[in-house]
Amino acid sequence: MNNETHLSFTSVGDISLTDLKKLVTFIKNNFNFDFSQYAMSSFKRRVARVLQLYSISNVDELISGLVNRRELFDEFLKEITVNHTEMFRAPSFWRKLRDQVIPLLACNQPIRIWSAACSSGEEIYSLAILLQEAGVYEKARIVASDINDRVIAKAKSGTYWIRSLEVNEKNYQRFEGKMKLSDYYVTSGDNYIMNKDLLRNVSFKQFDLVMGSEFSKFDLILCRNVLIYFTPELQNQVLRLFNNSLFMKGFLAVGEKETIAFCKNAEKFETFCAEERIYRKISE
Amino acid sequence: MNDLEQNRNTGIVSGYRAVVIGGSAGSFQVVTRILSSLPVNFNLPVILCLHRLKHVRQGFVEALNLKSNLKVVEPDDKEIIRNGLAYLAPANYHLYVELGNYFALSTEEMVKFSRPSIDLTLDSASYFYKEKMIAILLSGANSDGADGMKMAKKRGALTLVQSPQEASIKTMPEAAISATTIDHILKTDDLVELLIKLNGVNLRN
């Protein structure tokens, strides 16, 4: 996906809430994905973006397009769910994870980690590099899940556009890694390809945080910059899922400007690091 | 203008619910000037979407707080919007206003090379506040904010732009002026004066 869009949103007329609801209901009934509790502003913008990208004039036309061309739904899902990410996004978070959290888990056998919205894989490679440099990768068992099969395929391929390299390199430097990021990839034309060996303890899984229920227990859950796309009610529901999926004293890390404080289920967690939004389960 | 009331003496209307300010290169001093001139009892939220370095999380809000009469905070996702506070869009996130008067953040792709995008903040804020919003666009070197001002105007918001003659970099105010009808093109001093008058009316009502 392009990181930058020059599409102007003013060329699409305002999408009404009625039309958004109609679309959400249609998708729920036909594709079994529930967007009814996605935060409105970004969801509206994502839908407007799909209309523009595929030159579709309104929501009704989009719905008939989805009826007639099943493959359009894959495109739709890819655009609706936000997949913009970076390796070591917010480097101070990754330093905190390496310096404060991983040492507390290092004795666990295995260390069980769930990346709950792995997107195109940047977070997984960041995590794998971190664990490898900390000398605990061999003990780690990582589950990487995402709502979207397509981005999982991209994560597995570990192939990224060369234009994203600069920001990833800079983030890795700010993370103060032991190596050079280039020790973990090879370039190939306009792309760079991450070392597949980093995935040897990773299993991928298609999983929808909205519809899914717990499938295992973990020592650490990463879910960074995903809850921002949900309403407070849905955030609370997902937080319950995370609580059920953590061992006691297990860690939950969300994005640097996300908070669980507005959720009722927040009482089941304590704050481990306020600055980096790392929490710890303290009750069932 | 629905619930907005025209004040007989000042000609200024009351009933506004938010001030939203967009700015980029050359806007920092204007923003600090505004924040240091507003009275401590300023009764509306001031929502600031200013272009900033993506990877520098600390420092900006602290710098604004040194000068500001209003407390400046970077909102967390889903934080309720309160009167009398200034909110700064966090680094590397878009800042949306949601129906229900709270913020939502987003890591969507950059818009016009910007995250936070002024367009997105103005668009979402005016979708909620409609005619009860004051949209202000300051100095800047790209055209971010022009589409947002257009949407804000379409929804009845009061649109103000820093005078291109005064702005350090006039690209951004000029882009807004050519994109839509701007209610007032003002120098910083006049902008501040208008906001103060407006607060007086807002407090009386």
Query: Which CATH number does the domain housing residue B152 bear?
Result: 3.40.50.180
Q: What is the mean pLDDT of residues B54-69?
A: 91
For residues A39 and A109, state if they share a domain. Answer: no
For residues A136 and A17, state if they share a domain. Answer: no
Question: Is B78 within the bounds of a domain?
Answer: yes
Question: Is A50 within the bounds of a domain?
Answer: yes
Q: How many domains are there within chain B?
A: 1
Confidence of residue B99 (pLDDT cuts 50, 70, 90): very high
CA triplet B173, B175, B179: central angle to 5 degrees?
A: 120
Are A259 and B76 within 8 A, CB to CB?
yes
User: Tokens 């090879």 map to which residue?
Assistant: A186
- The residue ranking higher by pLDDT, A182 or A71, is A182
Question: Is A55 within the bounds of a domain?
Answer: yes
Question: Is B5 within the bounds of a domain?
Answer: no
* Mean pLDDT value across chain A: 93
State chain A's maximal CA–CA distance in angstroms.
57
Q: What is the mean pLDDT of residues B118-130?
A: 97
Which of A88-102, A133-147, B5-19, B84-98 shows the lowest mean pLDDT across its residues? B5-19
Question: Is A13 within the bounds of a domain?
Answer: yes
For residues A223 and A142, state if they share a domain. Answer: yes
* Mean pLDDT value across chain B: 92
How far apart, in whole angstroms, are the C-alpha atoms of residue B175 and residue A22? Answer: 36
For residues A98 and A72, state if they share a domain. Answer: no
pLDDT of residue B205: 55
pLDDT of residue B3: 53
pLDDT of residue B181: 96
Question: Is B109 within the bounds of a domain?
Answer: yes
For residues A145 and A35, state if they share a domain. Answer: no
Give yes or no for A255 touching B (CB within 8 A): yes
Give yes or no for A174 touching B (CB within 8 A): yes
pLDDT of residue B1: 43
For residues A266 and A127, state if they share a domain. Answer: yes
pLDDT above 90 for B165:
yes
Q: What is the mean pLDDT of residues A100-113?
A: 97
CB atoms within 10 A of CB A247: 13
Which of A208-217, B84-93, B122-131, B195-204 shows the lowest mean pLDDT across its residues? B195-204
Structural domain that includes position B184: 15-204
pLDDT of residue B57: 82
How much of chain A exceeds pLDDT 90, in percent? 90
Q: What is the mean pLDDT of residues A108-114?
A: 97
Question: Is A153 within the bounds of a domain?
Answer: yes
Q: Which of A51, A80, A109 is the last residue of a domain?
A: A80
Question: Is B84 within the bounds of a domain?
Answer: yes
Question: Is A34 within the bounds of a domain?
Answer: yes
pLDDT of residue A3: 39
* Nearest beta carbon to residue B107 from set A1, A9, A82: A82
Question: Is A19 within the bounds of a domain?
Answer: yes
For residues A76 and A211, state if they share a domain. Answer: no
How far apart, in whole angstroms, are the C-alpha atoms of residue A281 and residue A219? Answer: 10
Question: Is B1 within the bounds of a domain?
Answer: no
pLDDT above 70 for A108:
yes
**Nearest partner of A43 among A8, A66, A15, judged by Cα:** A15
Q: What is the mean pLDDT of residues A95-104?
A: 98
Question: Is B65 within the bounds of a domain?
Answer: yes
pLDDT of residue A82: 79
pLDDT above 90 for B201:
no
pLDDT of residue B5: 62
Q: What is the mean pLDDT of residues B54-72?
A: 92
pLDDT above 60 for B89:
yes
For residues A206 and A73, state if they share a domain. Answer: no
How far apart, in whole angstroms, are the C-alpha atoms of residue A88 and residue A126? Answer: 6
Q: What is the mean pLDDT of residues B17-37?
A: 97
pLDDT above 90 for A66:
yes
DSSP-derived 3-state class of residue A210: coil
For residues A22 and A151, state if they share a domain. Answer: no
Q: Which of A60, A80, A100 is the last residue of a domain?
A: A80
pLDDT per position as a tens digit, A228-276: 999 999 999 999 999 999 999 999 999 999 999 999 999 999 999 999 9
Give the gap in angstroms from C-alpha A59 to the nearest C-alpha of chain B: 19
Are A228 and B106 within 8 A, CB to CB?
yes
Question: Is B6 within the bounds of a domain?
Answer: no
Q: What is the mean pLDDT of residues B15-44?
A: 95
For residues A206 and A72, state if they share a domain. Answer: no
Size of interface A-B (CB pairs under 8 A): 90
Give yes or no for B113 touching A (CB within 8 A): yes
pLDDT per position as a tens digit, A145-165: 999 999 999 999 999 999 999
For residues A153 and A239, state if they share a domain. Answer: yes
For residues A40 and A151, state if they share a domain. Answer: no
pLDDT of residue A12: 56
pLDDT of residue B58: 84
* Nearest beta carbon to residue A9 from set B107, B113, B123: B123
Q: Which of A17, A49, A80 is the last residue of a domain?
A: A80
**Nearest partner of B158 among B68, B59, B44, judged by Cα:** B44
Structural domain that includes position A14: 9-80
pLDDT above 70 for A9:
no
A281, A246 in Cβ contact below 8 A? yes
**Residue positions of B annotated with a catalytic role:** 24, 51, 144
**Which CATH number is A100's domain given?**
3.40.50.150
| Residue A171 with chain B: CB contacts under 8 Å | 55
Question: Is B128 within the bounds of a domain?
Answer: yes
Question: Is A61 within the bounds of a domain?
Answer: yes
- DSSP letters spanning B41-106: T--S-EEEEE---TT--SSHHHHHHHH-SSEEEPPPTTPBP-TTEEEEPPTT-EEEEETTTEEEEE
Q: How many domains are there within chain A?
A: 2
